Amino acid sequence: MNDTNVSSIVLDRLTEEWDALTPEAQKAARYVLENPTDVGVSTVREIAEAANVKPNTFVRMAQQVGFDGYEDFRAPFRDAIRRGTVSFPDRARWLQDIGKSGELGGLYADMVGAAIRNIEETFGGISEEALKAAATDIWNSRQVLTLGVGVNNSNARNFTYLASTGMKQFHAIPRPGSAAIDDLAWADEQDVLIAMTCRPYRTEVIEAIKLAREQGLTVVGISDSPASPVILNAHHGFVVAADTPQFFPSSVSTIALLETLLSFVIAVSSDEIVERVERFHRRRHQLGLYAEEPE
């Protein structure tokens, strides 16, 4: 097992032990989950200061999740740094060039760089096995309720629209004129809730997830932090990078993740789905919904 996987296992252990941690230890754990690269380069005093807790809090947190102390805890993170990461010199030169290209070149470079970085960071932290497990639960469910509010409402509806080309059991919530908790009224352990929200976290999404768990639904959570209440309360949690130079959160990685998740659902589904997708689009051509290109 490589060092990157080992450090990921440490992060997974933190989320698994989250409820057992004291409030101060949760502050330390939150900092580690959101800034894992800092662990490998920081002393216990430095990281404690950054997390605004006492050094002993980090020591106790490390011990609570099975390590002798902080030095033992940070060892896999240091090893991962020594291994290095992939560099992209050609992309870096391209971003530098457009950054010098004119009055808005800097903004263009910042936006493009953030979009690419978000995609890389998101999929760098998600395994094929995790996607397959979520996709299998989705395929085996009676119905899938996809919840997003604000900017994520359109992301949820786009995912549902794409799924509807081959499957009938997908529904975006909240439905027009409804509330998410009402749309969950008759859902149970046969169903799946896909819920997404990034900071600042929307309370209606968090409450819907809690209600879904009480009713036995399988929850797929998408959020921007391993310490997000969405991830901590999900059966399948996926962290997306949503950084942007602008005031609005980026949806680039969320959309990419949802498209990838749907492709996994189709991959684990029956052969009938492929035929249904083809039939769906063939029908559209026959009804004149697509402009035919000249031969």
Of 288, 277, 279, which is closest to residue 165 (Cα–Cα)?
277
**Which structure tokens are listed for 212?**
């879904």
Report domain extents, the chain: 6-86, 119-287
Kind plus residue range of the DSSP H or E element containing 126: none
Q: CATH number of the domain at 119-287, out of 3.40.50.10490, 3.90.180.10, 3.30.460.10, 1.10.3720.10?
A: 3.40.50.10490
Q: What is the pLDDT of residue 187?
A: 97
Q: What is the pLDDT of residue 82?
A: 54
Assess contact for 187 and 201: CB atoms under 8 A: no
Phi, psi of 174 (to 5 degrees): -70, 145
Look at the block and give the residue holding tokens 């106790």. Answer: 60
Q: What is the pLDDT of residue 276?
A: 76
CATH 3.10.20.30 at 6-86, yes or no: no
Angle 234-238-244 from CA coordinates, rounded to 5°: 130
Residues linked to residue 195 through DSSP beta bridges, in sequence order: 147, 221
Assess contact for 219 and 225: CB atoms under 8 A: no
Q: pLDDT of the chain along its 295 residues, tens only?
A: 344 455 678 888 888 889 999 999 999 999 988 888 788 778 889 899 999 999 999 999 999 888 988 888 888 887 765 554 434 444 555 555 555 656 566 767 778 888 988 999 999 999 999 999 999 999 999 999 999 999 999 999 999 999 988 888 999 999 999 999 999 999 999 999 999 999 889 999 999 999 999 999 999 999 999 999 999 999 999 999 988 777 677 899 999 999 999 999 988 887 777 777 777 778 877 888 777 766 5
Assess contact for 83 and 2: CB atoms under 8 A: yes
